[in-house]
């Protein structure tokens, strides 16, 4: 069971950290990080992901989290679903993080870089300029047939959290459908990225925070429902 956090605020304030302080991991740091890993709620408990801390330091970070993962749609979604929960928990504990597709450990689709955030410098400015043409799409552009006029505020909040999920170059390869005041459907590309799982995790933790419980169900390849 994860500790109670204000996931909505964490999702809204989170950004990819690309500048880090020099910080060598202590045993206490590693214990804290692995506690975040242990607290994640799995989507499919039959999928085994053995998360490890590597002391590689891309962008001068303290290290990275990764797991060996197969290339099936379900495994990639699971990778992002659990990993995003780590990201939010680590953020609450004062760590900076970045999903980084260029940091591959053996058998992993990507890694989660982490460390103590440093002053924003040239690297952040460069990456920000590089991705300026990839700003996140507005929510209305992502919702098939729009949000029904009399939907509860909870529906919009869940979808907004899903919209804010990080994805490669902000490509947001997903769309949403509102089926009731207690259920939405999220569809997306599964390809070779864990983006859809990250999006589902944001929706799940938000629904759970507001409604007390949430269930994510696989409907088909690249299609999941989130209900509460």
- Please check the confidence at residue 130 and state whether its pLDDT lies above 80: no
Kindly indicate the confidence band of residue 133, based on its pLDDT and cuts at 50, 70 and 90: very low
The enclosing H or E element of 112 equals strand 111-115
Say yes or no: do domains 7-126 and 135-227 share a fold: yes
What pTM, to 2 d.p., does this model score?
Answer: 0.93
Kindly indicate the confidence band of residue 120, based on its pLDDT and cuts at 50, 70 and 90: confident
Counting every residue, how long is the chain?
Answer: 228
- Burial of residue 96 (CB within 10 Å: 0-12, 13-18, 19+) is buried
Least confident of 22-31, 97-106, 195-204: 97-106
Pairing of strands 63-66, 174-180: unpaired
The enclosing H or E element of 66 equals strand 63-66
With beta carbons less than 8 A apart as the criterion, state whether 227 and 214 touch.
yes
Adjacent-strand bridge partners of 143: 176
Residue 206 confidence (pLDDT): 98
- Please check the confidence at residue 168 and state whether its pLDDT lies above 90: no
**Cα angle vertex 203, ends 197, 204, to 5°?**
85
With beta carbons less than 8 A apart as the criterion, state whether 19 and 123 touch.
yes
With beta carbons less than 8 A apart as the criterion, state whether 181 and 149 touch.
no
Task: Identify the DSSP state of 203.
Answer: H
Domain spans in the chain, listed from the N-terminal domain onward:
7-126, 135-227
Residue 1 confidence (pLDDT): 43
Q: By C-alpha distance, which of 127, 141, 216 is closest to 174?
A: 141
CATH of domain 7-126: 3.40.109.10
Q: What is the mean pLDDT of residues 23-33?
A: 97
Answer with the residue of higher pLDDT: 174 or 57.
174
Residue 142 confidence (pLDDT): 97
- Please check the confidence at residue 66 and state whether its pLDDT lies above 50: yes
With beta carbons less than 8 A apart as the criterion, state whether 115 and 63 touch.
yes
Half-sphere exposure of 88 (CA within 13 A, CB side): 32
- Burial of residue 174 (CB within 10 Å: 0-12, 13-18, 19+) is buried
With beta carbons less than 8 A apart as the criterion, state whether 49 and 79 touch.
yes
Residue 24 confidence (pLDDT): 95
**Long-range CB contacts (within 8 A, 24+) of 21-28:** 21/115, 21/116, 21/117, 21/118, 22/60, 23/62, 23/115, 23/116, 24/62, 25/53, 25/55, 25/62, 25/63
Show the tokens assigned to 60: 């001068």
Domain 135-227 has CATH 3.40.109.30: yes
């Amino acid at each position: 069971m994860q500790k109670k956090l204000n996931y909505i605020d964490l999702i809204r304030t989170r950004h990819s950290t690309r500048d880090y302080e020099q910080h060598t991991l202590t045993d206490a740091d590693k214990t804290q990080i692995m506690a975040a890993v242990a607290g994640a709620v799995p989507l499919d408990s039959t999928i085994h992901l053995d998360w490890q801390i590597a002391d590689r330091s891309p962008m001068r970070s303290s290290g990275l989290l990764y797991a060996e993962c197969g290339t099936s749609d379900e495994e990639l979604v699971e990778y992002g679903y659990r990993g995003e929960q780590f990201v939010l928990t680590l953020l609450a504990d004062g760590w900076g993080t970045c999903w980084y597709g260029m940091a591959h450990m053996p058998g992993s689709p990507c890694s989660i870089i982490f460390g103590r955030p440093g002053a924003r410098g040239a690297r952040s400015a460069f990456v920000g300029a590089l991705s300026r043409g990839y700003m996140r799409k507005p929510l209305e552009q992502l919702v098939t047939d729009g949000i029904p006029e009399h939907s509860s505020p909870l529906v919009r909040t869940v979808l907004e959290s899903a919209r804010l999920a990080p994805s490669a170059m902000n490509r947001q390869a997903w769309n949403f459908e509102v089926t009731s005041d207690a259920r939405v459907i999220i569809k997306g590309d599964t390809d070779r990225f864990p983006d859809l799982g990250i999006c589902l995790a944001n929706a799940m933790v938000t629904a759970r925070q507001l409604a007390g419980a949430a269930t994510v169900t696989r409907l088909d390849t690249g299609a999941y429902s989130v209900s509460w």
